[in-house]
């Protein structure tokens, strides 16, 4: 099976210039996952990149259609991926909630946002990734996003990028 590259982005908050800069920076991807705040930006991302965008609702997505879910499950290269914004849990409960959701959905990767800080860890066979915020980072970095490399049911790599 060929490698599948999935762009991971969150918390763009309507900053179209940041999305444009990201699309100029990103290596070629096959699809995108947008973890909310503002999920409406996913439409622009699809236009900029001509790639499918899978989106979930964030805590600032008041105007999003009711059809936009709080979490979603997709599979790329045989790798099951859960996407969620992450505002549903606070503090130490966030990691517990993300892991429980990943276990429930039998995911190898859980992608989330909300904190605007890039983050990655692996626990109990599940990789948890927050790509940070492409527009409003809170960790001293420039805007960030990530790319996951998936193939043959294996999460082969995750890389972070700054814009």
- Residues 102-143 have pLDDT tens digits of 999 999 999 999 999 999 999 999 999 999 999 988 887 789
What does pLDDT average to over the chain? 93
Q: What was the pLDDT predicted at 39?
A: 66
64-114 confidence digits (pLDDT tens):
889 999 999 999 999 999 999 999 998 889 999 999 999 999 999 999 999
115-125 confidence digits (pLDDT tens):
999 999 999 99
Which tokens in the block code for residue 5? 């590259």
pLDDT-derived band at 48 (thresholds 50, 70, 90) equals confident
| pLDDT at residue 44 is higher than 90 | no
Which tokens in the block code for residue 19? 């999305």
Give the CATH number of the domain where residue 48 resides: 3.60.21.10
Quickly list DSSP for 93-156: HHHHHHHHHHHHTT-SEEE--SS-SEEEEEETTEEEEEE--SSS-SSSSS-EEEEEEEETTEEE
Query: Checking DSSP bridges between strand 109-111 and strand 79-84, what pairing results, if any?
Result: parallel
Structurally, the chain folds into a number of domains equal to 1
DSSP-derived secondary structure letter, 139: S
Q: How many CB atoms lie within 10 A of CB 103?
A: 14
Cα 125 to Cα 157: distance, rounded to the nearest angstrom: 14
Strand partners, 120: 129
Which tokens in the block code for residue 52? 């499918």
Q: What was the pLDDT predicted at 91?
A: 86
Q: What was the pLDDT predicted at 64?
A: 87
Q: Which domain holds residue 116?
A: 4-162
Q: What was the pLDDT predicted at 83?
A: 98
């Amino acid at each position: 099976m060929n490698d599948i590259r999935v762009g991971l982005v969150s918390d763009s908050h309507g900053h179209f210039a940041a999305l444009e800069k990201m699309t100029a920076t990103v290596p070629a991807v096959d699809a995108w996952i947008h973890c909310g705040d503002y999920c409406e930006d996913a439409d622009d991302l699809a236009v900029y990149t001509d790639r499918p965008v899978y989106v979930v609702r964030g805590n600032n997505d008041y105007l999003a259609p009711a059809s936009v879910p709080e979490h979603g499950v997709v599979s790329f290269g045989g790798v099951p991926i859960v996407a969620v914004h992450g505002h549903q849990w606070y503090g130490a409960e966030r990691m517990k909630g993300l892991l429980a959701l990943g276990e429930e959905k039998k995911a190898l990767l859980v992608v989330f946002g909300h904190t605007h800080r890039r983050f990655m860890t692996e626990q109990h066979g599940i990789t948890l990734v927050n790509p940070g915020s492409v527009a409003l980072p809170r960790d001293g970095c420039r805007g960030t996003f990530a790319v996951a490399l998936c193939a043959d049911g294996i999460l082969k790599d995750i890389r972070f990028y700054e814009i």
